Structure 1
Amino acid sequence: MTARLQTVILTGMSGAGKSVAMQALEDVGFFCVDNLPPALMPRLLDMAEHASGSLNKVAFACDLRGGALFEPLLLTVEELRQRKDMDTMLVFLDANEATLVRRYKESRRRHPLSPGSRLPESIQQERTVLAAVRRAADIVIDTSDMATGTLKQELTRRFHAHAARMPVHVVSFGFKYGVPLDADMIFDVRFLPNPHYVDELRPFTGEDQPVYDYVMQWPATQQFVSKAEDMLDFLLPEYHREGKSHLVVGVGCTGGKHRSVAIAKHIANHLRQTADVELTHRDRGREG
């Protein structure tokens, strides 16, 4: 194995945001396992090291739901910290009592220690049990005043080397074949002059220079792409700040062969300055 295995063990108070945190870690490439007994973590990590492919980031979430199986957590963490083939971090999510009570009331879920106890008493009992784990944590994150997006952003910042660059998928398409179901926003470029009606351009696509130049030559095109790219430059950091993990931008014309392909190409090239961009021409080779 050429790189050290990055291992994150996520624990903390029930209701402090472990589910959201695991989603954030999964979004930045971690293989995530929830509620695994700590004693089994070394065995799974051994399997990960010998797995084919690029499994080099693993995250575990565990808490008092495991009952007696949770007790070896600190011993397991210490064992993993001694291993020279991996980097291990224990992350503890916390929140104040008022926030935890409110979240449980909103979710209508039962606290894992609640049978026979009122919610505040269960929270205090859990805090006492987890005190030593909290002290041993490499990172403690208080989520009391954090929105979901803020917590995702914080974990992305800490555990993703390219946190500042948001993944964006730009897809061109033809409206007559339907709008992409996963698109977050759609730009309709059917108002632009159509190369389909220029005989010498009809066989080509927006990827070909003659068609691209034809589409881009019009003042309306220049004004449109300027406004569209300016809006995307504003929106991307705002979406990222709110915890959105990726963005799908659709650019549509009638058949998805000429105008949408050229405009999508232009937008994708612009966004590559600040984002990790994938460009797809869904209907470029489709006829009929």
Structure 2
Amino acid sequence: MYDMRFVIVTGLSGAGKSQTLHFMEDFGFFCVDNLPPLLIPKFAELCFQSRGNIDKIAVVTDIRGGQFFNDMAECLSVLKQQGYPYEILFLEASDQVLIKRFKETRRRHPLASEGRVAYAIAEERSRLQYIKEKATYIIDTSDLLPKQLKEQLHHLFVENERYEGMTISLISFGYKYGLPLDADLVFDVRFLPNPFYVPSLKEHTGLEESVREYVLKQPETPIFISKLKDLLSFLIPGYIKEGKNELVIAVGCTGGMHRSVTIAEVIKEYLMAQGYKVMVEHRDINERR
């Protein structure tokens, strides 16, 4: 009925909403910042009645709206009742990264009128949990450079005119650098022989054929991959049925450079062949380089 993309951008303070809005403008979206939720349905009505003059809209609404942001549930209900299709982009980041960003910019958290910023972040996470559960897309900007964020947004809003199904994020990581905080599923591949101890492979990564071949030729590897594929084939449809829009799968080894990278790439190829939209991040691949 409506040939328009109407994107509600929200998420944690300091997670990159302003930067995202600038990128959306670059992509040709008509953008509005800090719009109170109760005004969104009326604004959507004006946009959808423009008869194609405006066909890409992005509005930011967040905790800066104070008590007005409490009306978010009512806003979404009205949009649904009026039949206006919308997408929700939720931006988040780890507590450590958010605190660092606020300290560097010397800006005050909207909820930190009194007390530490860490407490404000915890309170904001609690208040935003409802909208996060409704999100169409969730992007964790903790480890993303601006260029990488723009690439992810381009993938979602330019390369794909419409989104259906689930977005799967695959993250390879090193246990020595900590678990990804947003992982839904974590698989430990440290039981596989480590290429780090092979002199000719030590400085290479799982993106290179020599390391990939070494990892995949181990007797345990094909058995593990087969069982992992079976498990994901069972789990993912169940998550979709329950309304989950994003699934974060983390694969870890000791340093996040060899085994986890190889296995993540193999799983990416498998899931893409099944028709899923997959984004891959090798978080710690350059930590030792």
Using structure 1 for the length normalisation, give the TM-score: 0.53
**What corresponds to 1:34 in structure 2?**
33
Give the corresponding residue for 1:265.
none
User: Is the 1:11–1:91 Cα contact (8 Å) retained in structure 2?
Assistant: yes
Secondary structure, aligned partner of 1:87: coil
Q: How many Å apart are 1:92 and its aligned residue?
A: 0.9
Match of 2:10 in 1: 11
Corresponding position of 2:70: 71
Computing the radius of gyration from Cα coordinates, the structure with the larger value is 1
Identical positions, percent: 39
CA 1:135–1:89 in 2, change beyond 3 Å: closer, same or farther? same
Superposed, 1:128-277 pairs within 5 Å as 128-161=126-159
Distance 2:29 2:3 in 1: 14
Contact 1:39/1:73 (8 A) holds in 2: yes
* 8 A Cα contact 2:2 2:48, kept in partner: no
Partner of 2:265: none
In the other structure, the counterpart of 1:55 is 54
TM-score (normalised: structure 2): 0.52
Of 114, 117, 127 in structure 1, the residue corresponding to residue 115 of structure 2 is 117
**For 1:30-64, what per-residue CA distance to the aligned partner results, in whole angstroms no more than 9, with x for missing partners?**
11110011111111122223337620111110111
2:138 alignment partner AA: V
Shift of 1:161: 3.7
Unaligned regions of 5+ residues in structure 1, if any? 164-288
The RMSD of aligned alpha carbons is 1.9
Give the unaligned 5+ runs of structure 2.
Answer: 162-289
Q: What number of residue pairs does the alignment pair up?
A: 161
Change (3 A) 1:147 1:55: same
Deviations 1:225-254 (A, max 9, x none): xxxxxxxxxxxxxxxxxxxxxxxxxxxxxx
Q: Aligned with 2:86: secondary structure?
A: strand
Divergent runs of 4+, >4 A? none
Amino acid of the structure 2 residue aligned with 1:129: R
**Residue aligned with 1:114, SS:** coil
